[in-house]
């Protein structure tokens, strides 16, 4: 509901903000929204506040936005969850895993669902999300990159799903896209060894769409945005809906879905 209301506000929604607590800033420039993880001195480590703010940005995304870029300031895209959350003291104002696990009210599973909301909206059919990834993308950082439709990476990128090494599972929506991108065997290998995937392998196994020199990352993202914006907005959304649904449908069902979407397109264009 909040999502629908915010989207109805369309272009009148906010066009940018920065939040110290969340470590995020974001700007909207016409059809392009840019979300920047902006705590480089802590390698863009993420907290509950980061995920709440991500969800809030998604809820308030202006309707005109077609491309969302997620990037990190400094040498690392994101070193994952803020390790202070594992300490008894936690993150000031946000508590720790220990305090949340013991707290009454919202269950821990509900807190995880709230955190996941910050990642899930990046798959909406109406937008294409691009992660621009340099340096470390560890744990929650890897999962944030996986939450995006496309990953354009610098040649110094290192992806690592560190959660199992810490006694945890990846729970920020990353397991499904990882399996879909690289296959089950490779996903098991990457997660259960918590090993690092560097740029050449990321490109080879389909984790990255493009690898460029670090200094060329921003331009590569701009070039991709220009290509994406050159297509028809409604056709792009309908096509993304079709592609997203393809794996869950039979060929016959998918063919029917193509016909339904195309009939709507033809009606919109010529009706």
Cα–Cα distance, 68 to 270 (Å, whole number): 30
Burial of 221 (0-12, 13-18, 19+ CB in 10 A): buried
Report residue 68: phi and psi, to 5°: -120, 120
192 scored as a contact of ligand ACO (CB under 6 A): no
The 10 Å CB-count burial string (b at 16+, else e) for 72-100 is bbbebbbbbbbebbeeeebbeebbbbeeb
Nearer CB in complex with ligand ACO: 120/229: 120
Q: How many CA atoms lie within 13 A of 40 on its CB side?
A: 9
**Using CB under 6 A, which of 61, 70, 81, 148 touches ligand ACO?**
81
**3 state SS of 81:** strand
**Interface segment toward ligand ACO; rule CB under 6 A; list 12-20, 40-48, 184-192, 208-216:** 40-48
Cα–Cα distance, 147 to 47 (Å, whole number): 17
Nearer CB in complex with ligand ACO: 29/89: 89
| Smallest distance from ligand ACO to CB 209, Å | 23
**Interface segment toward ligand ACO; rule CB under 6 A; list 21-29, 81-89, 115-123, 181-189:** 81-89
Cα–Cα distance, 7 to 10 (Å, whole number): 5
The contact mask relative to ligand ACO for 135-164 (x = CB under 6 A, - = no) is -x-xxx---------------------xx-
83 scored as a contact of ligand ACO (CB under 6 A): yes
**Using CB under 6 A, which of 36, 50, 76, 173 touches ligand ACO?**
76
39 scored as a contact of ligand ACO (CB under 6 A): no
**3 state SS of 149:** coil
174 scored as a contact of ligand ACO (CB under 6 A): no
Contact set with ligand ACO (CB under 6 A): 42-43, 45, 75-76, 79-84, 136, 138-140, 162-163, 166, 168
């Amino acid at each position: 509901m909040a999502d629908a209301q915010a989207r109805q506000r369309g272009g009148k929604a906010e066009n940018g903000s920065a939040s110290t607590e969340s470590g995020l800033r974001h700007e909207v420039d016409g059809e392009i929204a840019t979300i920047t993880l902006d705590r480089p001195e802590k390698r863009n480590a993420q907290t509950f506040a980061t995920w709440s703010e991500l969800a809030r940005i998604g809820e308030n995304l202006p309707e005109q936005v077609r491309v969302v870029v997620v990037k990190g300031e400094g040498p690392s895209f994101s070193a994952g969850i803020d390790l202070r959350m594992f300490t008894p003291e936690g993150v000031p104002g946000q508590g720790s895993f220990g305090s949340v696990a013991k707290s009454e009210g919202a269950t821990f599973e509900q807190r995880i669902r709230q955190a996941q909301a910050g990642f899930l909206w990046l798959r909406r059919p109406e937008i294409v999300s691009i992660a621009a990834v340099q340096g470390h993308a560890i744990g929650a950082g890897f999962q944030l990159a996986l939450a995006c439709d496309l990953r354009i990476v610098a040649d110094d990128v290192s992806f690592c799903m560190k959660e199992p090494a810490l006694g945890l599972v990846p729970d920020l929506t990353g397991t499904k896209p990882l399996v879909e991108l690289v296959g089950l065997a490779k996903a098991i290998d990457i997660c259960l060894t918590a090993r690092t995937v560097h740029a050449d392998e990321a490109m080879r196994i389909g984790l990255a769409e493009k690898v460029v020199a670090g200094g060329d990352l921003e331009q590569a993202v701009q070039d991709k945005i220009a290509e994406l914006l050159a297509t028809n907005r409604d056709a792009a959304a309908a096509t993304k809906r079709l592609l997203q649904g393809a794996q869950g449908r039979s060929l016959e069902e998918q063919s029917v879905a193509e016909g339904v979407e195309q009939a709507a397109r033809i009606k919109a264009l010529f009706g």
